[in-house]
Amino acid sequence: MKALVYHGPGQKSWDTVADPKPVDPTDIVVQIDTTTICGTDLHILKGDVPTVEPGRILGHEAVGTVVAVGSAVSSLAADDRVLVPAITSCGRCAYCKRAMPSHCQATGGIGWIFGHLVDGTQAEYARVPFAETSVHKVPEDVTDEQVLFLADILPTGYEVGVRNGRVKPGDVVLVVGAGPVGLAAIQTAALSGAARIIAVDAAESRLDHARRFGADETIRAGDDAEARIAVLTDGGLGVDVAIEAVGVPETFDLCTRAVRPGGVVANIGVHGAPTTLHLEDLWIKNVTITTGLVDGTTVPMLLSLVRSGKIKAELLGTHDFGLDDMLAAYDTFAEAGKHNALKVVIRR
């Protein structure tokens, strides 16, 4: 089969590799029908995730068709259409039982294994461990594009941003970074009852997308961003929840300065460099700071919202490619600002 293979920082290629087969009794093999590229894949290529070894097939989001099942798999069969999420869950360890499969002990303490610790989904086929407790069957009335982004982006924005940020009805919410995960946070913050959502980004095109996804106010990143945010809050005290969706020191620092006393900073961004935490200012403000890796436990709920039309997940897909055009898809996604790209949709 063909697959996108990582060969070390800055190096990738569309290679011919061996077809996967079930290895453990709980495995399935899925024909990849639709996949995409994540910002985390770009972090891997930059060398920010050293646990990814050369030779690894990248990708951790897909919709596919089951083509083979392990001997212990009874609830899935060939030709079933499934969502393959970013997080794998054994369903049995202490963390999976606590609804925290992001730290599944059966997968080495980290639930994100696709394109990380095992071969991923940017390929013609993929092996899926712990399939029955990991994949989700896709209803016939949902398109691949509607469900694809429930593999990672939408639950990340909701779980790590909105839910960790404790967004409640009436809150003023700041989302710094209007890329795909920030847009997912904006869309789900609106569903959670936020009274006002403020989006900050350096690119005007991203701010246009933010308004389309439900932002009430948009601010171009710059020296006056903090002051402009304060004007939009009650008494200038700051926002109730600040969601960081970029992963660089400047944006995290803006969130800690823009949040009000008693507020929450919810960090989603993947940080590849140290960030200064100004505890000399924050210790007295009763500010809560959260971090997290998506668990994906909200996928069934989000799928219900997609089916009802409350969430327009397909809006995240802005560019289409064939599977054999994987390298072109990477070029477009890596220069998202130039191409006004959010997520690329890569189809078999």
Domain boundary among 241, 274, 290: 290
- Residue 219 pairs with which residues in a beta bridge? 200
Domain boundary among 251, 272, 290: 290
Work out the angle between the directed axes of helices 204-213 and 180-191 (0-180°, nearest 10).
30
Domain boundary among 259, 275, 290: 290
Q: How many whole angstroms separate alpha carbon 19 and alpha carbon 27?
A: 14
CATH number at residue 190: 3.40.50.720
Residues 53 and 181 in one domain: no
Nearest to 158 by CA among 173, 140, 139, 145: 173
CATH number at residue 129: 3.90.180.10
Nearest to 239 by CA among 220, 212, 266, 214: 266
Residues 264 and 303 in one domain: no
Residues 148 and 7 in one domain: yes
Nearest to 44 by CA among 251, 267, 293, 330: 330
Mind listing the pLDDT tens digit for each residue in 55-98? 999 999 999 999 999 999 999 999 999 999 999 999 999 999 99
- For residue 251, what are the domain limits? 154-290
Residues 81 and 166 in one domain: no
Q: How many whole angstroms separate alpha carbon 317 and alpha carbon 287?
A: 35
**Could you report how far apart the first and last alpha carbons of the chain are, in Å?**
12
Residues 128 and 209 in one domain: no
- Total domain count, the chain: 2
pLDDT values of the chain reduced to their tens digit, one per residue, 348 residues: 999 999 999 999 999 999 999 999 999 999 999 999 998 899 899 998 899 999 999 999 999 999 999 999 999 999 999 999 999 999 999 999 999 999 999 999 999 999 999 999 999 999 999 999 999 999 999 999 999 999 999 999 999 999 999 999 999 999 999 999 999 999 999 999 999 999 999 999 999 999 999 999 999 998 899 999 999 999 999 999 999 999 999 999 999 999 999 999 999 998 878 999 999 999 999 999 999 999 999 999 999 999 999 999 999 999 999 999 999 999 999 999 899 999 999 999
Residues 95 and 205 in one domain: no
Residues 14 and 135 in one domain: yes
Residues 278 and 311 in one domain: no
Cβ atoms of 234 and 258 closer than 8 Å: no
Residues 71 and 164 in one domain: no
Residues 280 and 212 in one domain: yes
Mind listing the pLDDT tens digit for each residue in 240-250? 999 999 999 99
Residues 249 and 143 in one domain: no
Look up residue 139 and give its two tokens: 């209803």
Tell me whether residue 2 is exposed, middle or buried, using C-beta atoms within 10 angstroms of its C-beta: 0 to 12, 13 to 18, 19 or more: middle
Residues 256 and 282 in one domain: yes
pLDDT computed for residue 337 by the predictor: 87
Cβ atoms of 12 and 59 closer than 8 Å: no
pLDDT computed for residue 9 by the predictor: 96
